[in-house]
Amino acid sequence: MFDIDAAAVAYFQKLIAQQDIPGLGIRLRAVHPGTPKGDCRLEFCEASEIEADDWRIDCDGFSLIVDSASEPYLRELSISYLADRTGGQLTIRAPRLKGTPPGAGASVIERVQYVLTSEINPGVAAHGGKVSLVEVTGDGVVVLQFGGGCHGCGQVDVTLKGGIEKTLLQRVPEITGVRDVTDHSTGHAPYFKR
């Protein structure tokens, strides 16, 4: 399954038109796939650079090209674009990029770690932050340590309760809550000062 919204198509059409190169497309490549560092790189791709085994998605006036090695990780890709006053935000979601979700027999710790790696940390990384799992207690409380821009951040409680805890409770129903053990008074570069 592959999904690209109309706003993203228009965004790519505009970028390609500015280059004025016939047959130009957009290449998507998985970088560090199957690991917590997994990411998706976008770059222009001229027609002469397309390989026979590349996966080609024809859009309105251009093609998205995915190399064969990246295809398994980008198979359920969705791309959206949200315009705003400062330009806009392109969002790429690839659920398989950081690896396959843990199966039904996976432990609570494995499932919590997967959610942190694949959903939580990419979000807090926008503020230079990171969340690490310390432990899951016997009564199901997930204990976390915040780092980077989240260490000492004035909005960490909102992030913890409104975002992280809510997401973890939805994805891993066995957990009972989330607790932060970070000493926020020692944060060096918080995203929001206290």
Asked if 103 and 139 count as a contact pair (C-beta separation under 8 A), the reply is no
* Full-model pTM: 0.57
C-alpha distance from residue 143 to each of 135, 137, 163, 194 (Å): 5, 7, 15, 22
Q: Which domain holds residue 139?
A: 108-186
Asked if residue 19 and residue 67 are part of one domain, the reply reads yes
Q: What percent of the chain has pLDDT over 90?
A: 58
Within-domain flag for 99: no
Q: How many domains does the structure of the chain reveal?
A: 2
The reply to whether 112 and 78 lie within a common domain is no
| Whether residue 12 sits in one domain with residue 88 | yes
The CATH number for 180's domain is: 3.30.300.130
Where is pLDDT greater, at 191 or 65? 65
User: What is the pairing mode between strands 141-148 and 78-84?
Assistant: unpaired
pLDDT 10s digits, 59-81: 998 999 998 889 888 988 999 99
35: in domain: yes
> Bigger pLDDT: 119 or 194?
119
Average pLDDT over residues 114-119: 84
8 plus 86 within the same structural domain: yes
What's the confidence (pLDDT) of residue 1? Answer: 65
Q: Is residue 52 part of a domain?
A: yes
- First vs last C-alpha separation in the chain: 44
Of residues 67, 89, 91, the one with CA closest to residue 3:
91
Q: Is residue 103 part of a domain?
A: no
